[in-house]
Amino acid sequence: MKSVILDAMEIENHIEGTLKELLIKKNESFSYFKLKNMNILPCRSCASCCYKTPGKCVFQDDMPEILKAVANSDIIVLVTPIRFGGYSSQLKKAIDKLCLIGMPLYIVKNSHMLHPMRYGNKSLLGIGMADGDIHGQVENFQQLVGSNALNMQLNHKTLVFKKNDTLHKLETQLQNIYQEVFQ
């Protein structure tokens, strides 16, 4: 199993260390991307990736590195502060470009019109760090991960931490959820 981790955390946290330790212990291969250090340009919705250069963006940035890893992976892990009940802009800059893994064609699955995926079935794990008590932010985050999974036809799990959660809690929950995803 190969994991791709897209980490959009902006502040010091234990998620990166815990995730890496877990994957090394399990002898699983992974690619870890710290998004704040990456130059990813916004999607301009020009549709070139649909019809002119299928699956490739015409703007040059660091995204191909991520896309290569995603194409050859089994699990995509998103790590983000929960921002307005969704992803932070740091994560969203990469997520918007994940539309490149979809084809500009349509299929109908469970009464939903969806784009077929270029690189087959994968699992999605969304890890959010909640800050503050904004009503409905966690539910909205979970719904967003679920919608991404539906549209990309992935199995999915979400995990939400609070800023003051203990390292032990983080380790246990990550271990449990990874176990579920691997199964």
Point out which residues bind other proteins (CB under 8 A): 42-45, 50-56, 64, 67-68, 70-72, 83-89, 92-93, 95-96, 98-99, 103-108, 111-113, 116, 118-119, 132, 134-137, 139-140, 143-144, 147-148, 151
Q: Is 137 left (phi over 0), alpha (psi -120 to 50) or beta?
A: alpha
Q: Which is nearer to other proteins, 48 or 173 (CB)?
A: 48
Please report how close the Cβ of residue 50 comes to other proteins at its closest, in angstroms: 7
Q: Which is nearer to other proteins, 13 or 86 (CB)?
A: 86
Please report how close the Cβ of residue 151 comes to other proteins at its closest, in angstroms: 6
Q: Which is nearer to other proteins, 28 or 171 (CB)?
A: 28
Q: Which is nearer to other proteins, 43 or 170 (CB)?
A: 43
Please report how close the Cβ of residue 72 comes to other proteins at its closest, in angstroms: 5
Give the angle subtended at the CA of 40 by the CAs of 150 and 95, to the nearest 5°. 10
Question: In the chain, at which residue ranges do the beta strands (DSSP E only) sit?
Answer: 2-7, 29-34, 75-81, 107-109, 112-114, 123-130, 155-162
Please report how close the Cβ of residue 127 comes to other proteins at its closest, in angstroms: 17
Round to whole Å and give the CA distance between 5 and 25: 16
Q: In DSSP terms, which residues pair with 77 in a beta bridge?
A: 5, 125
> Which residue shows structure tokens 């469970």?
110
